[in-house]
């Protein structure tokens, strides 16, 4: 009886830990896409550009065409912001 309870408790522990694993490569980055689930993320402009480029490369196997357009627009906006910041006098 004791062994069965221990086994059951271990199984429950393992099953409850499954959702805590990090995102797989094929999942959407909701923080970049819609500013969701990113309260603890603060990226510099270079990291943001890199992340956006990486997500755009995933293409339609992960994102819908509308979501890809949104990511591409955010990437262009971020690149423009970087260009503006790099201009002399800023």
CB atoms within 10 A of CB 29: 20
**Number of structural domains, the chain?**
1
SS (H, E, C) the chain: CHHHHHHHHHHHHHHHHHHHCCCCCCCCCHHHHHCCCCCCCCCCHHHHHHHHHHHHHHHHHCCCHHHHHHHHHHHHHHHHHHHHHHCCCC
> What is this structure's pTM?
0.60
In a domain, 18, yes or no: no
In a domain, 74, yes or no: yes
Q: Residue 26's pLDDT is what?
A: 61
As a whole number of angstroms, the distance between CA 60 and CA 28 comes to 11
Q: Supply the range of the domain harboring residue 65.
A: 24-86
In a domain, 29, yes or no: yes
By C-alpha distance, which of 30, 28, 36 is closest to 63? 28
In a domain, 28, yes or no: yes
In a domain, 38, yes or no: yes
Average pLDDT across each block of 10 residues of the chain; the chain has 90 residues. List them in order: 57 48 60 65 86 94 94 95 87
In a domain, 41, yes or no: yes
In a domain, 76, yes or no: yes
In a domain, 6, yes or no: no
């Amino acid at each position: 009886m004791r062994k069965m309870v221990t086994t059951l408790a271990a199984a429950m522990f393992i099953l409850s830990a499954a959702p805590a694993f990090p995102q797989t490569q094929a999942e959407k980055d909701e923080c970049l896409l819609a500013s969701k689930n990113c309260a603890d993320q603060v990226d510099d402009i270079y990291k943001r550009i890199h992340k956006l480029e990486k997500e755009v490369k995933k293409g339609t196997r992960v994102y819908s065409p509308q979501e890809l357009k949104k990511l591409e627009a955010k990437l262009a906006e971020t690149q423009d912001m970087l260009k503006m910041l790099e201009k002399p006098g800023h």
